[in-house]
Chains A and B, each alone.
Chain A
């Protein structure tokens, strides 16, 4: 059974870097045909697709965030990560990791982790 679990700091200071990790069990990132990615949801608001990455290196990013975002894979730990630089209060959200079909459709979701950007 596929499971994804986000981990990382719940509080990040403005202008600093947000770093989250998603640990995958039940599938091998390195051999999977699927993409691995991140979606966020500001409190009380809608969903925002951030980006996704395949183990081959093929990736998709939201162009409006691309300059601040990086998604990477650690196949030895069966994990993938999100880093977002220069965060502001507008980046406060629940961050979900997911397994994606074709880089876009999220068919498995982690439980989500709230990240608050505040000094």
Chain B
């Protein structure tokens, strides 16, 4: 079973639309990270959320950590073609290990 469930797995939208990506688990985490990965490259950290209910903004991206610290969401406002990529949520476990969700592949069509 997957520790982190991400939905949707695939999303194709028109430029200018809004979207939300979800990351869910039955486990409680001390922190959660969101990464973005472009084809043929390694993931790049977007944000780390730590406190239950925390909201962080990164330009047009809004990240929220659930009150119970079991889930998180990523909302993109007015998506741009440059937002296209694989969005991964991840959590740190024992021995510094990072476990990734399956990812959401986003395509923004001009």
- Do these two chains really belong together in a complex? no
